[in-house]
């Protein structure tokens, strides 16, 4: 059975569907700090069966042990974590505690129970401000904020765990910019407060919840001056996790693998794609650059293709259509 930590969240819930579709049995472990039971109910509707669910915190070894006592867990897909870059600068200790200490507790309990396979949610943020694009996995690593340092530390911790006991199997998937929603329009990204990320903000503007989009700078060294990113459909990401689990036994070394589309799109290109998908106009303002943002970030995807046999299927138009279906059917998210 596969333990999915953070399985009630945005990427986790989509991955649960793909894992079940691929024939994996799963149990979700989540403390619902950034998700809702409603999301899990909707996943159950999509897959047509009940999902084993344990409510608990990854920092709590007792909570985790109870999962291993109840279920026969042989691998873990580890999504659980706090993920807001700006917030991580305000409450760094909570980020280190939740994300880093939480991962240490998880690995300890795994080791104690003889479960040594983990697929971890890393991020393109570990590349800092890269000197060139597309970004390859062997580029230098750095971080500019506590969230990024969490990911870097966790990557290092997982490498140390593997060094101490090479029977561990570790895959670290470095996501670029997750976007999109399930085709049903019943699950998707549901930010609690004002969205930090571009697509949820655009979607809330289109549905009338936000007045206008602030574009953070149009003076970058990019074709139209706005930031360029590699948006990757969440269902493609989910499929990447299935491929990672399918292949994890083949790898002797710790694997760090980019999951991106390989294409970069500017903020203006995303606005236009969303306007086409939704038929709505997105009013915008150009404002100052957001501190910590970089000009351009997109993945070299050759390694993922070679190692996992994985590449993105869905393009930016499909991401916008699916986000719009989710947002327009659920203007208040899961509430």
Interface pick for ligand UFG out of 215, 244, 319, 320 (rule CB under 6 A)? 215
Stretch that binds ligand NAD, among 81-89, 126-134, 164-172, 318-326 (CB under 6 A): 81-89
Rounded to a whole number of angstroms, the minimum distance from the CB of residue 139 to ligand UFG is: 13
Quote the CA–CA distance of 145 and 87 in Å, as a whole number.
10
Helix residue ranges per DSSP H, the chain: 10-21, 37-47, 61-70, 85-90, 92-95, 102-112, 146-164, 198-206, 234-247, 267-278, 302-308, 316-329
Task: Please check whether residue 106 is in contact with residue 58, taking contact to mean a CB–CB distance below 8 angstroms.
Answer: yes
Interface pick for ligand UFG out of 290, 303, 318, 328 (rule CB under 6 A)? 290
152 part of the interface to ligand UFG, by CB under 6 A:
no
Rounded to a whole number of angstroms, the minimum distance from the CB of residue 214 to ligand UFG is: 5
Q: Among this protein's residues, is 334 annotated catalytic?
A: no
Stretch that binds ligand UFG, among 24-32, 44-52, 208-216, 322-330 (CB under 6 A): 208-216
15 part of the interface to ligand NAD, by CB under 6 A:
no
Task: Write the DSSP string, 253-288.
Answer: S-EEEEES-S--EEHHHHHHHHHHHHS----EEEEP
102 part of the interface to ligand NAD, by CB under 6 A:
yes
What are the backbone dihedrals phi and psi of residue 124, each rounded to the nearest 5 degrees, phi first? -65, -15
177 part of the interface to ligand UFG, by CB under 6 A:
yes
Whichever of 31 and 125 has its CB closer to ligand UFG, that residue is 125
Q: Which of 57, 49, 58 is nearest to 26 (CA)?
A: 49
201 part of the interface to ligand UFG, by CB under 6 A:
yes
Rounded to a whole number of angstroms, the minimum distance from the CB of residue 61 to ligand UFG is: 27
Quote the CA–CA distance of 16 and 89 in Å, as a whole number.
31
Residue in 24, 147, 265, 298 annotated catalytic: 147
Whichever of 9 and 146 has its CB closer to ligand NAD, that residue is 9
Task: Please check whether residue 147 is in contact with residue 292, taking contact to mean a CB–CB distance below 8 angstroms.
Answer: no
Whichever of 36 and 328 has its CB closer to ligand NAD, that residue is 36
Which structure tokens are listed for 31?
Answer: 């403390």
Q: Which residues are catalytic?
A: 147
């Amino acid at each position: 059975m596969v333990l999915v930590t953070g399985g009630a969240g945005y990427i986790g819930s989509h991955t649960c569907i793909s894992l079940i579709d691929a024939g994996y049995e799963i149990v979700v472990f989540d403390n619902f700090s950034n998700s809702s039971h409603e999301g899990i109910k909707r996943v159950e509707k999509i897959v047509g069966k009940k999902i084993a669910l344990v409510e608990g915190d990854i920092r709590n070894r007792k909570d985790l042990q109870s999962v291993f006592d109840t279920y026969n867990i042989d691998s873990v897909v580890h999504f659980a974590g706090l993920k807001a870059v700006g917030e991580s600068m305000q409450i760094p200790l909570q980020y280190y505690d939740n994300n880093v200490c939480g991962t240490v507790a998880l690995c300890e309990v795994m080791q104690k129970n003889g479960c040594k396979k983990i697929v971890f949610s890393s991020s393109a943020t570990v590349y800092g401000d890269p000197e060139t694009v597309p970004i390859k996995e062997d580029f230098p690593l750095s971080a500019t904020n506590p969230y990024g340092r969490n990911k870097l530390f966790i990557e290092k911790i997982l490498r140390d765990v593997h060094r101490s006991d090479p029977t561990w199997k570790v895959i670290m998937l470095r996501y670029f910019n997750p976007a999109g929603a399930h085709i049903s329009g019943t699950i998707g990204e549901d930010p609690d407060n004002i969205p930090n990320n571009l697509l949820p903000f655009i979607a809330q503007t289109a549905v009338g919840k936000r007045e206008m989009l602030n574009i953070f700078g149009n003076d970058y060294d990019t074709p139209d001056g706005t930031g360029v990113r590699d948006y990757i459909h969440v269902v493609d990401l989910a499929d990447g996790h299935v491929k990672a689990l399918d292949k994890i036994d083949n790898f002797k070394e710790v694997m760090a693998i980019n999951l991106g589309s390989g294409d970069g799109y500017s903020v203006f290109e995303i606005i236009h794609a969303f306007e086409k998908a939704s038929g709505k106009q997105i009013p915008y303002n150009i404002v100052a650059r957001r501190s910590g943002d970089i000009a351009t970030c997109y993945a070299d995807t050759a390694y993922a293709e070679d190692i996992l046999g994985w590449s993105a299927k869905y393009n930016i138009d499909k991401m916008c259509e699916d986000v719009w279906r989710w947002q327009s059917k659920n203007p208040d998210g899961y509430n």
